[in-house]
């Protein structure tokens, strides 16, 4: 029994240490990492060797963008920010209520008096539900 336990412990230790060795073999060495860091520091800004892929920055200046936006607004090709109308100049249908606050309060008060609506803050009881 003791030999099986000892062999199992040895096998587990070998497995743990071998994983560490394999993981380090695939990663770059400390000297390679230091060399990459040195070249990155020496390279001009934006030209680091690790930077890859196409640039996403714009080729136009802010002043040029502002000028083209101002010209398109003046000619009517685009709309000002926050304008809710569409390209044909029609506004979106309004979802606002057509009744005033006073009218809504009056109709609610009448509905409460008629018993159609339960007053605010009152719980439904058996007696009030029997009236209906």
Domain that holds residue 9: 2-42
> Is 29 part of any domain?
yes
Domains in the chain, number: 1
101 φ, ψ (degrees, to nearest 5) = -65, -40
> Is 14 part of any domain?
yes
In angstroms and rounded to an integer, the radius of gyration of the C-alpha atoms of the chain is 38
> Is 120 part of any domain?
no
Per-residue pLDDT of the chain (132 residues), as tens digits, is: 678 777 777 777 787 676 655 555 667 788 888 988 888 887 766 655 555 556 677 788 999 999 998 998 888 888 777 755 655 556 666 677 888 999 999 999 999 888 888 767 776 665 555 555
> Is 37 part of any domain?
yes
> Is 23 part of any domain?
yes
DSSP code string of the chain? -HHHHHHHHHHHHHHHHHHHHHHHHHSPPHHHHHHHHHHHHHSPTT--TT--S---S-SS-HHHHHHHHHHHHHHTSS--TT--B-TTSPBPPP-S-SS-HHHHHHHHHHHHHHTSSPPTTPPP-HHHHHH-
> Is 108 part of any domain?
no
Q: Which pLDDT score is estimated for 128?
A: 53
> Is 64 part of any domain?
no
């Amino acid at each position: 029994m003791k030999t099986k336990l000892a062999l199992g412990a040895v096998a587990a230790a070998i497995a743990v240490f071998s994983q560490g060795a394999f993981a380090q073999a695939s990663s770059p060495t400390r000297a390679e990492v230091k060399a990459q860091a040195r070249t990155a520091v020496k390279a001009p800004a934006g030209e680091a060797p690790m930077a890859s892929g196409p640039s996403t920055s714009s080729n136009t200046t802010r002043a040029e963008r502002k000028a083209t936006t101002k010209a398109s607004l003046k000619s009517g090709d685009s709309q000002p920010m926050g304008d809710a109308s569409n390209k044909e100049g029609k506004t979106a249908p309004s979802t606002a209520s057509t009744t005033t606050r006073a009218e809504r309060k009056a109709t609610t008060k009448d509905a409460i008096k008629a018993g159609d609506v339960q007053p605010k803050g009152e719980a439904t009881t058996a007696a009030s539900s029997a009236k209906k």
